[in-house]
A and B are shown apart, each in its own frame.
Chain A
Amino acid sequence: DAKTTQPNSMESNEEEPVHLPCNHSTISGTDYIHWYRQLPSQGPEYVIHGLTSNVNNRMASLAIAEDRKSSTLILHRATLRDAAVYYCILIKWGADGLTFGKGTHLIIQP
């Protein structure tokens, strides 16, 4: 499976945008890019996913590089409730389950 690389931790201020990077230089053409996050004392929750084009939903935006070797999760206006570990995961069509890495621990300062 292709691997992803994320910073161990990032810090941002409340009400400011947050850009969480993910490198996946060995991504294959059949890999989808998924993002999940895990709030304290909870299970992970789905955030967003994409293949080639940028994606937007009510939680976040996903910007995918043209060569697909990196992607960025964008939280447009961070709140204290966005403090969590964010996971960038590559998934092939038909694959069962997700393989999690260590993720990025996002800290939001008031």
Chain B
Amino acid sequence: ETGVTQTPRHLVMGMTNKKSLKCEQHLGHNAMYWYKQSAKKPLELMFVYSLEERVENNSVPSRFSPECPNSSHLFLHLHTLQPEDSALYLCASSQGDGGAVNSPLHFGNGTRLTVT
């Protein structure tokens, strides 16, 4: 148990569907992150939220839309995805003071997304 819970664990969706990934952290952290892990590629940072404000958006296509309603919850809304968006989507949290240097990131176990 990492303290970061992601649901669902697996998701299959068509290209015209709209779905959402959910992340919840029980660690009292104030920063949350979305990462994408594709087969044979390193993890890619997608979005960073600190104190519920988005502080980083790494040129992610608009078909991915994050939402952070409070410091414990993070969502990734998905619409009109492409098959190449199939990947493992990982959520993480940290305390945020000093960035990731002095506050290790705690990751969930991810949502395995397949776009058909």
Contact = CB atoms under 8 A, between A and B. Distances in A.
Contacts of A91: 99-101
A101 B101 CA distance: 17
A7 to B, nearest CB: 15
Contact of B55 (A96, A98, A99): A96
| Max count, chain B CB within 10 A of own CB: residue among A32, A45, A96, A103 | A96
Contacts, number: 67
Interface in B85-104: 90, 92, 98-101, 104
Interface in A69-96: 91-96
Interface residues of B, number: 24
Interface residues of A, number: 23
B48 A97 contact: yes
Contacts of B33: 96-97
Contacts of A97: 33, 45, 48, 56, 100, 105
Contact of B99 (A93, A100, A101): A93
9 contacts: A42-B109, A43-B4, A43-B108, A46-B104, A49-B101, A91-B100, A92-B99, A96-B99, A98-B100
